[in-house]
Amino acid sequence: MPMIDSQPLSEQLTRIQAANARCDALVEASKGKHVTDSHAEHTERMRGIDEAQAAYHLELVKLSALVQSAIERAERIR
């Protein structure tokens, strides 16, 4: 039996990669748009990027908690 269950960590890593890809895509799509955007369009675009970055950060925090929990379980088993 492995000391650390990799399934939840693997699933969380997949969510992190998806959140990061979404954030990167929004940032890439916004390049050069500030020149032609209205203030409202720019504000909406930036709001979307901020939300994507917050979602990415949340997924990283969840991964950190999962890793910490797995380490603590592994140390108790030893």
Q: Please, are residues 78 and 12 in contact by the beta-carbon 8 Å criterion?
A: no
Q: Please, are residues 56 and 20 in contact by the beta-carbon 8 Å criterion?
A: yes
**Domain ranges, residue 66:** 19-29+36-77
**What is the pLDDT at residue 1?**
44
The C-alpha atoms of residue 63 and residue 43 are separated, in whole angstroms, by: 30
Give the pLDDT confidence of 8-43 residue by residue, as tens digits. Answer: 888 889 999 999 999 999 999 988 887 788 999 999
The mean pLDDT of the chain is: 88
- Is residue 64 a part of any domain in this protein? yes
When pLDDT is averaged across residues 43-72 and rounded to a whole number, the result is 93
Number of domains in the chain: 1
- Is residue 5 a part of any domain in this protein? no
- Is residue 6 a part of any domain in this protein? no
At which residue do the structure tokens 């990283």 appear?
60
Q: Please, are residues 66 and 26 in contact by the beta-carbon 8 Å criterion?
A: no
| Torsion angle in degrees (nearest 10) through CA of 50, 51, 52, 54 | 90
